[in-house]
Amino acid sequence: MPENTFGLIAIGALVLILIGIVISCIKIVPQSRAYIVERLGAYNSTWQTGLHIKIPIIERIAKIVSLKEQVADFPPQPVITKDNVTMQIDTVVFYQITDPKLYTYGVENPISAIENLTATTLRNIIGDMELDHTLTSRDTINAKIRVILDEATDPWGIKVNRVELKNIFPPREIQDAMEKQMKAERERREAILRAEGEKASAVLVAEGEKEAKILAAEADKQSAILRAEAVKEAKIRESEGEAQAILAIQQAKAKGIQLINEANPSDGMLRMRSMEAFEKAADGKATKLIVPSDLQNIVGLAATLKSAVKDN
């Protein structure tokens, strides 16, 4: 009985071991991962996302590779510019593994290889540039480094997406000189802006005065035009009044003549009126006298009128 018990226990243990081995051979590859599988020490296959089963003892997972974009931040590297200025530059490389097999077997330490390649490429590029050009050409330097690294890492199954110069540290004395230069430049710009502001203010004041004078002259002109129009209108009205008065006088004379004609006056009456007109003309103001040809008849008519009055 004990021997049977030990046999059952051994069988049960063996079954459990086999189940454990089978379970350990079942592998699920997650998203953005790739498994490099070797069979008897040689590359066999690359497992992508999904369920996979490996052969125990014969096959093994040699490397698990991440397919996500990764960032490598390298420490500052000493570089020398064309004008013999030594400075420190640290870079950031964004890369992605595109071929897990080449990444596993292409180079022993890919990150270290990228770091050294970045440092040598950076020295070569900066060595052909002066300090001022280096400080103002980050985009150009980034593009050149990226192209060179991408071409060099292609056999390693790595694609370099971006390279950025994180920091540039020139020598302390260069930094002090640059700060003084920037301070002087800011002061110069401030002086220019102040002068331009004063100039613009003076121009605006002059333009305002000019505009005020123009408006005043225009107002005087309009006022003179209005006064001239008023005087002209007054003269026109005065002329119209005189014309109306003359017309009224002439109409009155015409009316008087008409009434005289309608009254049919006698010759004596007409001579009397002529005599009255003659007396008014001879009141001492006239320098010339016009004597009518029938003056004797008028005198005789006056004598007749006097005798008639006496008789009455």
The rounded average pLDDT for each run of 10 residues, N- to C-terminus, in the chain (312 residues) is 66 79 83 90 88 86 90 88 86 92 88 90 88 84 91 91 87 76 83 88 87 87 85 80 77 71 60 58 53 51 47 48
Nearest to 103 by CA among 40, 46, 162, 27: 46
Q: What's the CA gap between 110 and 98, in Å, rounded? A: 13
Where are the chain's structural domains? 17-66, 69-170, 195-264, 266-312
Output the pLDDT for position 93. Answer: 93
Output the pLDDT for position 77. Answer: 86
Output the pLDDT for position 308. Answer: 45
The CATH class given to the 69-170 domain equals: alpha beta
How many Cβ atoms sit within 10 Å of the Cβ of residue 236?
Answer: 10
Output the pLDDT for position 25. Answer: 82
Q: What's the CA gap between 149 and 96, in Å, rounded? A: 12
Output the pLDDT for position 138. Answer: 87
How many Cβ atoms sit within 10 Å of the Cβ of residue 152?
Answer: 17
Rounded to 5°, angle at Cα 301 from 298 and 302: 90
Q: What is the pTM of this model?
A: 0.53
Q: What's the CA gap between 211 and 43, in Å, rounded? A: 91
Output the pLDDT for position 272. Answer: 60
Phi then psi dihedrals of residue 81, to 5 deg: -80, 175
Output the pLDDT for position 162. Answer: 92
Specify burial of residue 79 (Cβ count, 10 A radius: 0-12, 13-18, 19+).
buried
Asked whether the beta carbons of 88 and 122 are under 8 A apart, the reply is no
Q: What's the CA gap between 303 and 80, in Å, rounded? A: 150
Return the axis-axis angle of helices 295-311 and 267-281, rounded to nearest 10°.
110
Output the pLDDT for position 217. Answer: 87
Here the tokens at position 118 are 């970045």
Task: Give the end-to-end CA distance of the chain in Å, rounded to a whole number.
Answer: 206
Backbone angle region of 235, left / alpha / beta, with phi > 0 → left and psi within -120 to 50 → alpha: alpha
